Every structure is written in C-alpha cells, then in structure tokens.
Amino acid sequence: MATQKPTHKRNRRALTLKIAGPGIHSGRISVPDLLAICQHAQSAVNRQAEAMEGKQTLRPGRKTEKVRVECTLELVSVRKGTTTLGFDLAKPQAVLPTMAAFGEEVIGKVVEAIESIGRENGGAVDPGVLDSLKNMGEVFDRKVTYIKWIALRRNGRGRRIATFNPEIRRRAMERLGPPVQQVIEIDGVLEMADFKPSDHRCRIHPPLGPSIGCTFDEDLADQVYSVLRQPVRVAGNAAINAQTGKTESVHITRITALKPLDMGAGNFLAGWTFEQLANMQAVEPLKSASELAGAWPDDEDVDQFLSDVYLQRA
C-alpha cells in the first residue's frame, strides 16, 4: 500500500516588511527601530481600516471594536537576508479562498496607498495613513534606506509590493501640508541624546502624550548632557502638525533643569481648551451609551451603592 507524502502549507504572511540599509544586518535590527516600525505599521493599518469605515482618522481615541478585532497584527517571524518581518493577523481570517478578509483587504489598501503616493497623479490617501507613514519614516534618519511592504493580493494569488523610502515619505508630508511654526515651552524628561558634530538630537518625554524629537545647537550640548534622564523645561521653535495639532519636533533654544514636582507646573495656567486636553489625553466623545455596557458589575446594586455614598457623606 503506497503511503501518501505529507503536504506542507505554504507560508503566506498577511504582511511582510523587508527592511534594508547600512544600519540593518542580516536578520538583525535595533530594538528602537523595530518598535518604531511595528508601531507605525499597526497605526497605518488601523487608520486605513477606520477610513474605510468612514471614521475620522487623525483624531486620537480608541479604535472601534471591528478594527481592534479584525486588524491587530502579530509579529510571527524575523528572517535573514535583508531583515524581513513577517506579520499575521491576530484573528484567523476565515473566508473563501477567492475573497479577502477585512484585515487583509485593509493591509492591501495601505500598500496601494504607498504606491499611489509614489505616482505623480496618484489618488487620494487618507490623512491618518499619511501621518503614520510620515512617523514610520523617522527610521530613515537612523541608517534605514527603505522598507518594502508586501501584501497578499485580493484574490489570494500573488503579492502586491510597494517600496516605502525617504522620497515617498517626503511626498506624504507634502500631502499633509507644512507644519505650523510656533515658539513653545515643554516640560518632560530628557532622553536619548545624540551628540554627533553635525547632528545634535534628543527626545523629551512630557507627562502627557508621546515623546517629542528635538534638535539643539552645539552651544547647548554640555547643558543637554548634564540633564539627561532628568526633568527639564525646554523652550524653542516647534513644528506643529497643521492637521492634528501634534507637536512634531522642537529646536531647543533654552533648557532648564526642574525638580520632579515642578514638572508640568508651567501648564497649570496655560489655558488649554477642553478639546486640547482631550486630544493630549487621547479622549474622544462618547458616541453611544452602549459603550458603557459592562462598566458596572452585574452583582452590584446601584441604588444601594448611592445610598451608602450619601450615608457616608452625612
């Protein structure tokens, strides 16, 4: 009786990112670059999904349940050659072979967006996706030359490939529009300084929101070095995203060491609007009362709880 040879399922990733450049070695990538690429790849996919659902993508806030369930990526492999990251969708995509699941369709649309940006008369691309690609492109300042996006085609046969490089990033930034220039002060912890003679950079991590990239001149180098990993207040010329209001970078002209309890004190009388405070804390309006479902334990009596509260206040 003839024995049947075992069959092996072909390895088909929902998304593959091939990363190349003088700072990338075979099968190796620095942790900061890996985190940045994964974070902004997920962001681009999420925002593309939200755009396809008719949502505003540049507003901070929680993802819809459909996007969270259908579009979360899992890093499942790191291969050699040019360092290659393989991603699958966290949720199994159970569909007919000739149909793309929602998550796979979204990834394909991101690859199409990168292709579109590269064409002179390319079609419209969602501003949130442009913003995510712009942020991912920060790794081009750290010896990365390009990131090749590879996705399955909609019919499940073959692959769709687009190369994301500094030129594509520049075009994405042009579509977003130039940042607004403004003199600001920011409190935070100073971290990750680079003192190369031609490129003085650092990052400041404020109490609210993500860290912000900064530049500074040679005459501030010693002062920056002396306050690394300490609370500071920096003042300088900021580039602010005209679409989101997010501070993208600051050229530091003055830096002052702070006591830990003083950090953020300068914002107390800043006069932030409710919308600005909500944006900084990634809070968005409640769209449906159903979002509150499950917030109160089923075995707790609300009326009894309120009665106890009033009793304690008496």
- Look at residue 98 in the predicted model and tell me its pLDDT: 44
How do residues 211-262 score in pLDDT, each as one tens digit? 899 999 999 999 999 999 999 999 999 998 776 778 889 999 999 999 877 6
Angle between helices 127-136 and 102-118 (to 10 degrees): 80
Residues of the chain with pLDDT under 70: 1-11, 59-62, 92-100, 154-157, 243, 262-299, 314
Residue 98, CB-side half-sphere exposure with 13 Å CA sphere: 0
Residue 44 CA to residue 39 CA, distance in Å, equals 9
Order of all β-strands in the sheet with 15-20: 73-79, 83-89, 15-20, 146-152, 159-164
- Look at residue 259 in the predicted model and tell me its pLDDT: 85
Residue 47 CA to residue 267 CA, distance in Å, equals 30
Contact 68, 10 (CB under 8 A): no
- Look at residue 96 in the predicted model and tell me its pLDDT: 44
Residue 225 CA to residue 118 CA, distance in Å, equals 40
How do residues 50-82 score in pLDDT, each as one tens digit? 999 888 787 666 677 888 888 999 999 988 777
Residue 314 CA to residue 312 CA, distance in Å, equals 6
Domains of the chain: 15-176 (no CATH), 180-267 (2.40.50.140)
- Look at residue 234 in the predicted model and tell me its pLDDT: 95
Burial class from Cβ neighbours inside 10 Å (0-12, 13-18, 19+) for residue 240 reads middle
C-alpha separations of 294 from 39, 146, 281, 309 in Å? 29, 45, 23, 21
- Look at residue 191 in the predicted model and tell me its pLDDT: 86
Three-state DSSP class for residue 97: coil
